Structure 1
């Protein structure tokens, strides 16, 4: 089955997690499951996800704290799952960055509808205002293919711009080499071609990220590239 969205399910109730995974996979979603809140950030570093289903009461780190940490580097949609019905819990969850809130017992079709609605809203956001991306002192304008940093235009080639745009459009998410080659070269990655590693080095030099501790554009070993959205303020 070809999955059209990849979801991260964070739930310590194994029985509940099992039927949610089975149901959503039958609906065409890819689902990865972790049982602890303190495993979420690491899971996101390893793989690209389109949405997180996040339980509120978790071992290791509760859902509120997980949501706060994720929002430090990613705007990925988050739907919180909880057995609590207190309105205050819902308000707190939304205030720390959750996109929606579902109470248990979870109804399969209702959950599916919420997931599709949140993903649809995210796609609409991308369509409406994504010709210009702003990250602190960095601005990337797709229509004019211009990049400015600290109000100074940065000269970039068309290929460098397209690569930067791809990374920045997926800020906070690791973009695999396979995805880069598919999007920019319309072919599969052969496991040998290092042209985009060279281009990352060029972008770092142009965007003042050329030191031994790369903060703005990271290479995630064995995975791909990560554009850090909150590293452009200084």
Structure 2
């Protein structure tokens, strides 16, 4: 019998947390509840859980700060839950590294579907494509959501990470804004997709800058090139990295 996935629900509304936990446990998920941000962060970093359900408005430490600190040390999947449905809150959550965002009130059935979706993405198929890609000094581990440049860890937002992975998969191929936009939409089965091709292009440029930490300087900034009037390409050839 398969061991149930372990879910940490960080939620200060006791009644909602208990109802949600009861529903999830009825769908073969083991649930632990943390009632504030500090306790939740400590438990999230324990290494005992497979996915985090994170409320945005929490006592002691708000959900955005919990997500930010968690991402500094862990690639554990995070689904944000919040009654604050403004676009800026969704964007902030995703930029800080959340894998999904579900506004309250939410459907318990949809929550279960999203949990299963992020769990599928977090575990690479042994028969599927490799979870690690390399290009010059750049190494991207998709399963662990980890990036290294010349052996040093590099922090990117979830959106920037996805863009970098797509460019690595298409290494040497020029991708237009529209192509990147459509591939991001396909990649994010249950996550909000980028708003427009233009916003995708802006994040691509940001990814190139972020993948070149300084000091020390590296060749990584030159790996992502803009092909004027066409799109973007990741290339570690001497001409491309010059």
TM-score class, shorter-chain normalisation, is 0.5 to 0.7
Check whether the contact 1:55–1:80 (CA below 8 A) recurs between aligned residues.
yes
Pairing 1:123–2:141 present: no
Count residues in correspondence: 143
Per the alignment, residue 5 of structure 2 pairs with 5
**CA drift at 1:2:** 5.8
Mapping of residues 86-165 of structure 1, within 5 Å: 86-124=86-124, 128-130=129-131
Check whether the contact 2:57–2:63 (CA below 8 A) recurs between aligned residues.
yes
Per the alignment, residue 72 of structure 1 pairs with 72
Distance in 2 between residues matched to 1:125 and 1:52, nearest whole Å: 21
Structure 2: stretches of 5+ with no match in the other structure? 142-149, 152-215, 217-242
Check whether the contact 1:34–1:40 (CA below 8 A) recurs between aligned residues.
yes
Distance in 2 between residues matched to 1:86 and 1:21, nearest whole Å: 26
Check whether the contact 2:37–2:60 (CA below 8 A) recurs between aligned residues.
yes
Distance in 2 between residues matched to 1:125 and 1:90, nearest whole Å: 29
Check whether the contact 2:37–2:59 (CA below 8 A) recurs between aligned residues.
yes
The normalised TM-score by structure 1 is 0.54
Encode CA deviations 1:113-151: one digit per residue, 9 max, x unaligned: 111111112223785334689xx99999xxxxxxxxx98
Q: Secondary structure at the match of 1:124?
A: coil
Check whether the contact 1:10–1:36 (CA below 8 A) recurs between aligned residues.
yes
Distance in 2 between residues matched to 1:27 and 1:108, nearest whole Å: 10
Per the alignment, residue 171 of structure 2 pairs with none
Per the alignment, residue 183 of structure 2 pairs with none
Check whether the contact 1:3–1:30 (CA below 8 A) recurs between aligned residues.
no
Q: Secondary structure at the match of 1:54?
A: strand
Distance in 2 between residues matched to 1:33 and 1:77, nearest whole Å: 16
Per the alignment, residue 63 of structure 1 pairs with 63
Q: Secondary structure at the match of 2:105?
A: coil
**CA drift at 1:106:** 1.8
**CA drift at 1:46:** 3.6
Change (3 A) 1:56 1:125: farther
Encode CA deviations 1:53-78: one digit per residue, 9 max, x unaligned: 00000001100000000001100100
Pairing 1:17–2:22 present: no
Check whether the contact 2:132–2:140 (CA below 8 A) recurs between aligned residues.
no
Per the alignment, residue 84 of structure 2 pairs with 84
Per the alignment, residue 209 of structure 2 pairs with none
| Larger RCO, structures 1/2 (Cα 8 Å, 6+ apart) | 1
Distance in 2 between residues matched to 1:18 and 1:2, nearest whole Å: 24
